[in-house]
Copies of this chain bind each other. A is one copy, B any other.
Amino acid sequence: MASIKDVANLAGVAVGTVSRVINNAGAVKPATRAKVKAAIEQLNYVPDEVARNFKMQKSKMIALLLPSIWHPFFSELAYYIEDELDREGYKLMLCNSGGKPEKELYYFDMLKQNKVAGVVGITYNDIENSVSTDIPMISIDRHFNKKITCVTSDNFEGGRIALRELVKAGVKKPAFLGNVPFVYSETMLRKEGFVHEAKILGVPYEVYEEPDPLRDEDKYYSTFLNRYQDIDGVFAITDMAAAKYIEKAKQAGIRVPEDVKVIGYDGIQDHPYFHPLLSTIRQPVEEMARTAVRLLLKKAEGETLDREVYQIPVTYRAGETT
């Protein structure tokens, strides 16, 4: 296999010149560059990336830290993040944290060791003090108080749209079905937008929040169903919460959309083959993913970003539940 010395010999230049051409670093005359490139091609020379990373002390690797790739919202997001990174010549390292803070911290440590170029992170845990500002990082959905830029969908506007669409569908008394997050997350704005719009329109509303609905799901939904028997509309904080509510409501003899109209948030159903097709606030997943990557690569190159939070507009997608 050809070495960098072979390339230098054939091109009649120094090894350092070849290195500058390969790494796009330092000035090289166009004619010299052309000679080097021709030699690389002729010898079918493959630069050793591991050795290059060692010398340049950085890698073309971006880490994606998320709770679980095995969730339709995250897997769609990962799909577009990988696609955008690939366009820019970067690779994706996938880290499932399982939502466990200790696994997230373990990955941040690991990431430091590996000198990844940056991290796209989705975490809903309180790892605030442990997240190093040394690593270029973009957070999705979660706005840290440090200088970690956040990309989210426009959650507040999404909540407003959901309220308006419920009212448009004839709902007189809508309820918000949510949860109290452990730490501040942009997703809380969904409720705030919903409440804001209800107040503007003078619509009576209910808000139901529990700290950890997953701990006792049956109790979470049965409490909601018992407590708010007069509601005729639900805006659920996620599509999964909407789908679970609809199933529990059906068991309690409540028909959707006849008795209660339901709007979710996410847009996880990308095929029309499974029912109910949820009416939902669709996250602009592709644009969020590509924006996160573009901002991250800017940061990795030392640029300062002009905002702390980048909000991407959302749209309403009508389904079978309103």
State the A residues within 8 Å of B (CB).
46-51, 53-54, 57, 59, 61, 64, 68-72, 74-76, 78-79, 82-83, 86, 91-96, 110, 112-115, 240, 243-244, 246-247, 269-276
Contacts and interface: CB of A to CB of B under 8 A. Distances in A.
Given A54-B54, A75-B70, A113 B46 contact: yes
Nearest to A48: B113
Given A79-B69, A82-B94, A112 B46 contact: yes
A50 B53 contact: yes
Contact of A113 (B49, B68, B240): B49
Contact of A75 (B61, B69, B113, B247): B69
For the complex of A and B, list the 10 residue pairs with the smallest distance between their C-beta atoms, beginning with the closest. Answer: A243-B273, A70-B79, A75-B75, A274-B274, A54-B54, A94-B94, A49-B113, A92-B94, A49-B114, A82-B96
Contact of A243 (B53, B83, B246, B274): B274
A82 B270 CA distance: 25
A51 B49 contact: no
B57 A50 contact: yes
A95 B113 contact: no
Nearest to A278: B274
A271 B246 CA distance: 13
A89 to B, nearest CB: 10
B96 A93 contact: no
6 contacts: A70-B78, A70-B270, A75-B78, A92-B93, A247-B273, A274-B276
A251 to B, nearest CB: 11
Contact of A82 (B53, B71, B95, B273): B95
Contacts of A61: 93
B112 A83 contact: no
A201 to B, nearest CB: 30
Contacts of A72: 72, 75
Given A54-B54, A82-B95, 10 more contacts: A46-B112, A46-B113, A53-B53, A70-B76, A70-B78, A70-B79, A70-B270, A75-B78, A83-B96, A246-B273
